[in-house]
Amino acid sequence: MKHTFRFLAAGLVLAAASALPARAADVWQVRPDWAESFRAQSVSGTMLVYDEGASRYAVFDRRRAETAFAPASTFKIFNALTALETGVVADEHAILRWDGVRRAREEWNRDHDLASGMEHSVVWYYQELARRIGRERMQHWIDAAGYGNRDISGDIDGFWLGKGGLAISAVGQIAFLRRLAAGTLPFSARSQEIVRRITVVERTGDYVLHAKTGWASTGGEADLGWYVGWVERGGNRWFFALNIDVRDGDAPKRAALAGALLVKAGALPAR
């Protein structure tokens, strides 16, 4: 189906990739066998995995992987970096008081800090950060990092939620996350280290998983769901970006589907 904020983003892919070291050996491997996992969850979408050690992309639906969508709550990663860099928050323990407005997700109805706001994807917390950052500083850091299409038109506290101009592809998500993991974004080493810490969702003796969900309303029959991040395991890193069309009840499918495909890609052990 078509989304109002969706467009092909080959130019954005090239711009994001230019900020990374050239890897002439990077290859693309199409994985039609991954269709089975999408069918098992009864969803359509794309999954892109970059195996850093092998310099190889594995992809299901490359065309969609190169198509830009609103980043939704995956933008919290960038928002946190900018809030830290501008001094809007001092560290991951910076608390904002709940405004008393009851929201649909019960865990949002309390005070939060940068870390818990990331963990529970607390929209109001990160909207307040964006308001405090302001449009001028936000645009400066968007441009400096080359994030997505760099378009923050719309409300300053919602331009990433499908109500404004910002869009990024799965390829662009991975380019951004690779720079975060390597510490080569134009933010301080301290800001990047804090954000790497607060994006860890699972840590075992075998691997560390960094991840962030996203959900954007499209106004159509289905919304858009993201799951992006990277796996550190055995001295290697695998970066991933999944997006799917989502309907009621599909929220848990993002992490479940990504996990199953990361196993197939060799990033995670069989579960």
Catalytic residues: 73
Q: Are 231 and 208 in contact (CB under 8 A)?
A: yes
Taking the C-alpha atoms of residue 167 and residue 59, their distance in angstroms, rounded to an integer, is: 20
Burial category of 187 from C-beta neighbours within 10 Å (exposed 0-12, middle 13-18, buried 19 and up): buried
Burial category of 263 from C-beta neighbours within 10 Å (exposed 0-12, middle 13-18, buried 19 and up): middle
Structure token digits, residue 109: 């109805």
3-state secondary structure string across 92-133: CCCEECCCCCCCCCHHHCCCEEHHHHHHCCCHHHHHHHHHHH
Q: What is the DSSP string of 149-199?
A: T----S-TTTTTTTSSS--B-HHHHHHHHHHHHHT-SSS-HHHHHHHHHHT
For 56, residues 6+ apart whose C-beta sits below 8 A from its C-beta are: 26, 27, 28, 29, 50
Taking the C-alpha atoms of residue 185 and residue 212, their distance in angstroms, rounded to an integer, is: 18
Q: How far apart are the first and last CA of the chain?
A: 33
